[in-house]
Amino acid sequence: MCTASVCGICQHKSWSGCSNSDPNHIKKIMNTSSKSDWCSCLPFDEDDAVFIDGTSYPPRAGCGYRRASDSSINK
């Protein structure tokens, strides 16, 4: 079963302990906090993206990469 975890990359809430094959566990763990507290990393691979009932969930803790911030883009 999934457990709540802290992403070691962005330091926000994520999940660990199960595969994407049981989305109800992921949904149950993640929906106990607001989306603003969720991991903001992107999955390494598009196949690892987690979509449940039309909602995008973060990748498993430590299995993604940090999003580039707008401030790092030279305009």
Task: Establish if 73 belongs to a structural domain.
Answer: no
Closest CA to 65 of 74, 73, 48: 48
pLDDT confidence of residue 69: 60
Task: Establish if 15 belongs to a structural domain.
Answer: yes
pLDDT confidence of residue 5: 94
pLDDT confidence of residue 46: 83
- The total of structural domains in the chain comes to 1
Range of the domain at 52: 3-67
Task: Establish if 54 belongs to a structural domain.
Answer: yes
Task: Establish if 49 belongs to a structural domain.
Answer: yes
How crowded is the C-beta side of 72, counted as CA atoms within 13 Å? 4
Per-residue pLDDT of the chain (75 residues; tens, 9 = 90+): 788 999 999 999 999 987 666 788 899 999 999 999 999 999 998 888 888 899 999 998 888 888 876 444 444
pLDDT confidence of residue 37: 96
Task: Establish if 75 belongs to a structural domain.
Answer: no
